[in-house]
């Protein structure tokens, strides 16, 4: 598994944010479509032909410097209090013809739950391309299958992948 922007990519599917476990909320993207997971929001599925749009809200976005400072502060708070927080939630908006716009929650998977402006903007562009079919989920899955399981892409590699996926023609 690897994080690239807002996407947690496995060999079989792509999650927005963290891969949920148990009853945790989440959104899974497969070659067949979009599935909302978790207690109180799970069980909904739309094929790609039904999806008109994908977007996110409530994602923490900060510059690299501010992201590092926030993470350092959070680490100090946990050290002093012993009270760690669950990852922050963000909202995934799935626009469908039949159901209108459906909102679902997903857990952030990056440290501190904070993304840089570049990866956030590119992730939103990629979501739009996934929804309109110009970038198939299979392209992200193919990349993951070709990479060694224990190697995580660097920040520059992640941004390069997002740029490739948001500019590639089908």
| pLDDT tens sequence across 101-138 | 999 999 998 867 789 999 999 999 999 999 999 999 99
Half-sphere exposure of 126 (CA within 13 A, CB side): 27
> Residue 168's pLDDT is what?
77
Instruction: State pLDDT tens for residues 42-101.
Output: 789 999 999 999 999 999 997 444 334 344 444 443 444 455 556 789 999 999 999 999
Greater confidence, 117 or 40? Answer: 117
> Residue 112's pLDDT is what?
73
- Residues linked to residue 109 through DSSP beta bridges, in sequence order: none
Of 131, 95, 88, whose CA–CA distance to 113 is shortest? 88
The model's pTM is: 0.84
Q: How far apart are CA 114 and CA 80, in angstroms?
A: 22
Domain extent at residue 55: 2-167
- Provide the pLDDT confidence category of residue 149 given band limits of 50, 70 and 90: confident
How many other CB atoms are found less than 10 A from the CB of residue 84?
10
Calculate the CA dihedral of residues 67, 128, 22, 90 and round it to 10 degrees.
40
Asked whether the beta carbons of 112 and 71 are under 8 A apart, the reply is: yes
> Residue 170's pLDDT is what?
62
- Total of domains in the chain: 1
């Amino acid at each position: 598994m690897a994080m690239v922007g807002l996407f947690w990519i496995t060999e079989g599917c792509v999650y927005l944010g963290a891969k949920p476990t148990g009853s945790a909320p989440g959104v899974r993207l497969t070659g067949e479509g979009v599935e909302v997971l978790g207690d109180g929001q799970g069980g909904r599925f739309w094929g790609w032909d039904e999806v008109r749009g994908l977007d996110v809200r409530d994602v923490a976005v900060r510059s690299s410097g501010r992201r590092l400072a926030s993470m350092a502060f959070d680490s100090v708070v946990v050290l002093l209090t012993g009270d760690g927080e669950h990852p922050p939630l963000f909202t995934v908006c799935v626009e469908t013809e039949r159901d209108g716009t459906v909102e679902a929650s997903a857990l952030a998977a990056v440290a501190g739950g904070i993304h840089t402006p570049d990866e956030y903007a590119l992730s939103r562009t990629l979501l739009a391309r996934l929804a309109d079919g110009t970038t198939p989920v299979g392209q992200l899955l193919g990349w993951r299958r070709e990479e060694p399981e224990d190697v995580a892409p660097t920040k520059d590699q992640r941004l390069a992948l997002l740029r490739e996926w948001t500019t590639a023609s089908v």
